[in-house]
Structure 1
């Protein structure tokens, strides 16, 4: 996902970038409420002369990119809870999730972005907020599910999964298998366990090897002396 920094100018109409300094303590998630708008459309709406709303946000995400519209150390007007120093507007980074296009991809991009931001700050998903948490507005609306907030729980779980370190997947290490100094094949070491091909080893010692598929048993028997 492309990350673009395209800050709206200070002095933008309706005080959308008031430039109050902010030390963020949470990240607030929104839906744009516009099913046909892209991240670029939303960014450009902030400076559109016909826009008469004071509302603004820090970052907007769609299926292709994320655009940072206001520096993350300044406030934006996104939480709907006034201008008090402890308000969401003054303490939280606002992220708008677009509703257009491939919404599943957009959600994954948003989860990836949010996980990265949390990790950079040493935060967990307990720092995530809904617009609803600040002002009671049903937003992010596509996560509401009639009040069950199923989509919200799924989103938080997705972010949490991306925060967890990926397992160190190691390829098995190949080892040579020798019997009486003669190489009879190769085995492997994985997770501290050495595995060798039993048939090759047994037959090198002159034994018979039979596989019983019904009982899933390998039978090794000594060859009778002639």
Structure 2
């Protein structure tokens, strides 16, 4: 397989570690054909399949999700913030190695419509949008994200209202508000 994308999942198991998830793949009682390439938790990331092998993770049969993307599972247990931070660092590293940008990131949802990664789905995928922004910040060396003049999805409705009512001038949605502006 020649990867073209990174597909992000969450394990769907609220009480498992990366090591547990890895062990389940080869457990003789596991009769599922689903697989993935890497699993990440608050402590580590484990590669479970070579990145050039097809993994059955995207739910799109022989489509691009399975045949042309690397599947990354994010564990749902433990310290969620640390796990997501580790996932951001892993994804950033993988994108840099391939000279890719965040446009190469996909959710399981994008391939098959499954609500996955479910831990990033609440509030109309606000967690997914933040995840991509965090990756973008890391890619930029921790600097300002290129789209700093666009409000985040979760804030857009209120931002538009404040602009319409004259509370804000409609610029710099991600900058601090000064006392004189207040």
Q: Which has the higher contact order (CA 8 A, sep 6+)?
A: 2
* C-alpha deviation, 1:165, in angstroms: 2.7
Pick aligned residue for 1:136 from 89, 113, 123: 113
* Displacement after TM superposition at 1:83 (Å): 1.8
Compute the TM-score of the two structures, normalised by the length of structure 2.
0.77
Query: 1:96 is matched with which residue?
Result: 73
Q: Which blocks of at least 5 consecutive residues in structure 1 are unaligned?
A: 1-21, 168-226
More helix by share: 2
In the alignment, structure 2 segments of 5+ residues that lack a partner are 144-182
Residue 175 of structure 1: aligned partner? none
Once the two structures are superposed, the pairs formed by residues 27-176 of structure 1 within 5 Å of their partners are: 27-84=6-63, 87-146=64-123, 148-165=124-141
RMSD, aligned α-carbons: 1.0
Looking at structure 2, the residues matched to 57 and 42 of structure 1 have their Cα atoms a distance apart, in angstroms, of 10
Q: Normalised by the size of structure 1, how large is the TM-score?
A: 0.62
Distance 1:64 1:166 in 2: 22
* Greater C-alpha radius of gyration: 1
Question: Which aligned pairs between 1:4-23 and structure 2 lie closer than 5 A?
Answer: 22-23=1-2
* Higher share of residues assigned strand: 1
- How many pairs align? 143
CA deviations 1:90-118 (Å, max 9, x no partner) are 00000000011101000000000000000
Deviant stretches of 4+, over 3 Å:
none
